[in-house]
Amino acid sequence: MDKKLKIGVLASGRGTNLQAMIDGIQRGELSAEIAIVISDNRDAMALERARKANIPTVYVKPGKKSEFEREVINILEENNAELIVLAGFMRILSPNFVNHFPLKIINIHPSLLPSFPGLEAQRQAIEYGVKITGCTVHFVNEMVDAGPIILQEAVPVYDDDTVESLSDRILEKEHKILVEAVRIFSENKLKVIGRRVFIDKTGSDKCL
């Protein structure tokens, strides 16, 4: 039997992207196991979604950044996490944290990076007047929303869009490409050269 990729998920809110991964695993689309879900929000719906799927959860109380991150790192290592997925995690990770897991942390962002990084990307897109936006799965590096891009999906912006309506359409695509990105990572099909991420069709190359 193939070894399943162990995933650690960091989440702060509703956890819909976490649910997409749970559903992907249950459908057999992902050869992976969510080993732990960690949240900085005791009341995060993500924790409840994990518990319903019998996934271990931990709430880590926010405090001094270095101490908070050290505790999260310890939990991830104790659970042998091989990939860390930021699924609506509302904290910026320090360079120390990122460098502890090089090319092992991925994030989902609701825009076509490098356009509209940071908070309220959907509002930024509407106010800027773009006709196309979307979502991006990328590796996390020391800069905010600036790591090598793994997958992107475009979403049209309609004249009557609100932040909510646009967010809902983008979220549907987020669920799709996050599961796909985790799948290709788990199958060792990603190769990173500089800023570029290549998907290897043979699966012979691992992340570099």
Active site residues: 109
Longest CA pairwise span in the chain (Å)? 51
SS3 182: helix
Task: Name which of 3, 14, 5 is nearest 33 in CA terms.
Answer: 5
b/e per residue 116-154 (b: at least 16 CB within 10 A): beeeebbebbbeeebeebbbbbbbbbeeebebbbbbbbe
Give the Cβ contact number of residue 14 at 10 Å: 16
